[in-house]
Amino acid sequence: MAGKGYQKHVLVGNLGGDPETRATRSGSTVTNFSLAVNETNSNGEEVTTWYRVAAWNGRGEVCACYLTKGRKVLVEGTRLKASAWIDEDGNARASLELTADNVIFLDGPREEEEAEEEVVQPQRKVRELKVAPANGRASRPAAQSKAKQVARQATPNRQRTRGSVALQQEDWEEIPF
């Protein structure tokens, strides 16, 4: 029985340039950036492998807003495409492009970026809710249910997605980097 295969790629590296965003004919947006992944080979020499990363729609827009040349990121993806061609000088060339399923920023902004941003971050206060019925005996499920309700009300601008939190436009200003 032949089944579908599965591949997952995890890259950690530094951006080789600022991200570039473009719109497709279908109306989607894609942000591309180059990623340098450094490794040490068996001779002790540092070897750099370059990847092109494509981040689509909202994920790409966040990358375009917060990533710049030199930033360290972790990229997870399940679609890796290899391409080979001959350039105009007759040299064999190859590239690897990973479609990002997840991008994690591993370092903060550079010092010059921090100096430009003078945004004061609002502090969120967490209230503790004590629920006790009239008979004085607290019911755990009821207390937990009420606490979950309060938590949902305290974060109205977040959309829940499978395994991650999607940011809306107004949340972008609250990202601490």
**What residue ranges do the domains of the chain occupy?**
9-107, 124-177
Residue with tokens 């599965």: 6
Average pLDDT over residues 37-54: 95
- Distance from C-alpha of 177 to C-alpha of 111, rounded to nearest angstrom: 11
Burial class (CB in 10 A: 0-12, 13-18, 19+), 38: exposed
- Distance from C-alpha of 94 to C-alpha of 86, rounded to nearest angstrom: 9
Q: Which CATH number fits domain 9-107: 3.30.70.2190, 3.90.1150.10, 1.20.1290.10, 2.40.50.140?
A: 2.40.50.140
- Distance from C-alpha of 160 to C-alpha of 169, rounded to nearest angstrom: 15
User: pLDDT band at 131, cuts 50/70/90?
Assistant: very low
Helix segments in the chain, DSSP class H: 57-66, 111-116, 140-154
Taking 70 as the threshold, does the pLDDT of residue 88 lie above it? yes
Give the residues across from 49 on adjacent strands: 37
114 versus 68: the higher-pLDDT residue is: 68
Give the residues across from 164 on adjacent strands: 161
Tokens of 14: 């530094």
